[in-house]
Amino acid sequence: MLRLFRSRELNKKINDGCKRPYDLGKRSETMDRNRAALLNAAREELEANGLANFTVEALARKAGLSRQTAHNLFGTKGGILEALFDDLAKKGGLTRMPEIMQESSAKRMLAEFVRVFTDFWASDRVLIRRIHGIAVIDPELGASVQARNERRKRAARRVVERLGTGNDAEKTRLAATLYAMTSFEFFDALFNEDIQKEAAWKQLWQVVQRALALDPGDDVGG
């Protein structure tokens, strides 16, 4: 009898062990699906109405989810905004930044720095324009946008340091120039709505080279 009981317990553990990876996989798929639905709802709400109805409860309802599910995924409205920014960055190519900052050629690093932000701003121009506009009047969203701008500012300084041009005061000026020229506001003012990414990059690259007094003859590819 004891042997039979132990055999049943062993079989139960084996069956549970077989089910667990499958159950975890299904749970992960559901979370990914819910996450995508909520971010899509957030994107649509920002584009259509700004922050007027941008709450966890409203977005959950729009995505067909419970408020608790949305809260478990992102916590707060700020968490949803952060996740939306991260999703935009991933889709817009900003995940290339670590690779770019490791470029052995200083001028190629600069060229790719300009390219990655040109591509990013062009990737979802309407939504990014909406986000930047709202950030001016909403402190929470404004703080999030500013934090990302500060990272771009530090990266611009690092690129200029690699170029090795001028003294500290000159490097500060050039870094500020590069930071300004890779901003969304500069991109949005410079290019019309239907310009292609490659054409935008080539034009902005020429402008940056002139502003930083670089020799435009060097080949950086692309």
Q: Which of 84, 46, 75, 78 is nearest to 62 (CA)?
A: 46
What angle, 0 to 180 degrees and rounded to 10, lies between the N-to-C axes of helices 125-135 and 2-49?
80
Q: Which of 131, 76, 27 is nearest to 59 (CA)?
A: 76
Ordered alpha helix ranges (H), 50-138: 56-63, 67-74, 77-92, 97-100, 106-123, 125-135
Residue 13 has pLDDT above 60, yes or no: no
Looking at residue 149, its pLDDT comes to 95
Residue 179 burial (CB count, 10 A): 20
Looking at residue 5, its pLDDT comes to 40
When pLDDT is averaged across residues 213-219 and rounded to a whole number, the result is: 68
When pLDDT is averaged across residues 65-89 and rounded to a whole number, the result is: 89
Q: Whole-model pTM?
A: 0.80
Looking at residue 24, its pLDDT comes to 55
- Tokens 């530090």: give the residue: 154
220 or 176, greater pLDDT: 176
Q: How confident is the model at residue 197 (pLDDT cuts 50, 70, 90)?
A: very high
**Domains delineated in the chain:** 2-86 (1.10.357.10), 93-211 (1.10.357)
When pLDDT is averaged across residues 184-210 and rounded to a whole number, the result is: 94
Q: How confident is the model at residue 121 (pLDDT cuts 50, 70, 90)?
A: very high
Looking at residue 25, its pLDDT comes to 64
Residue 70 has pLDDT above 50, yes or no: yes
pLDDT tens track for 44-69:
988 888 878 888 999 999 999 999 99
When pLDDT is averaged across residues 204-210 and rounded to a whole number, the result is: 95
Q: Select the highest-mean-pLDDT range: 5-9, 55-59, 134-138.
A: 55-59
Contact call for residues 86 and 120 (beta carbons, < 8 A): no
CB burial of residue 99 (10 Å; 0-12, 13-18, 19+):
exposed
Residue 128 burial (CB count, 10 A): 20
d(C-alpha 125, C-alpha 184), whole Å: 9
d(C-alpha 27, C-alpha 32), whole Å: 9
Mean pLDDT score across all residues of the chain: 86
Looking at residue 22, its pLDDT comes to 54
Q: Express as a percent the part of the chain with pLDDT over 90.
A: 57
Token pair recorded at residue 32? 């990914």
DSSP string over 112-130 = HHHHHHHHHHHHTHHHHHH
